[in-house]
Amino acid sequence: MLSTTTTTLLLAASSLVAAQTTVNGSDNFVNAAFKAFTGDQFQKYTLTAAGINASFIPYGARLTNLYVCDQNGTMQDVVVGYDNATQYLHDSETNHTYFGAVVGRYANRIKNGTFEIDGQTSTIPDNEHGGLNPLHGGFVGYDQQNWTIASQTGNSITFVFYDQAQQGFPGDLLNVATYTLTDEPAWISRIVSIPLNDATPIMLANHVYWNLGAFVDEEAVTVLNDTLYMPYADRIIEVDSILIPTGAIN
Ligand X SMILES: *[C@@H]1O[C@H](CO)[C@@H](O)[C@H](O)[C@H]1NC(C)=O
Binding site for ligand X (CB under 6 A): 1-2, 24, 41, 46, 48, 53, 67, 70-72, 75, 84, 86-87, 90, 95, 97, 112-114, 123, 140, 144-146, 216, 219, 224-225
Instruction: State the distance between the two ends of the chain, measured CA to CA, in whole angstroms.
Output: 33
Is the peptide bond prior to 235 cis by the omega test (within 30 degrees of 0)?
no
As measured in angstroms, the least distance from the Cβ of 232 to ligand X is 25
- Given the complex with ligand X, which of 144 and 180 has the nearer CB atom? 144
71 contacts: CB under 8 Å, gap ≥ 6: 2, 3
- Which residue's CB comes closest to ligand X? 75
- Given the complex with ligand X, which of 53 and 189 has the nearer CB atom? 53
Distances (CA, A) of 227 to 4, 56, 155, 183, 206: 9, 26, 29, 24, 20
As measured in angstroms, the least distance from the Cβ of 248 to ligand X is 19
As measured in angstroms, the least distance from the Cβ of 109 to ligand X is 13
- Given the complex with ligand X, which of 146 and 189 has the nearer CB atom? 146
Q: What angle do CA 203, 64, 167 make, to 5 degrees?
A: 35
Distance CA(66)–CA(244), nearest Å, equals 31
- Given the complex with ligand X, which of 130 and 235 has the nearer CB atom? 130
- Given the complex with ligand X, which of 62 and 250 has the nearer CB atom? 62
As measured in angstroms, the least distance from the Cβ of 28 to ligand X is 13
As measured in angstroms, the least distance from the Cβ of 202 to ligand X is 19
- Given the complex with ligand X, which of 76 and 158 has the nearer CB atom? 76
As measured in angstroms, the least distance from the Cβ of 45 to ligand X is 10
Distance CA(51)–CA(134), nearest Å, equals 39
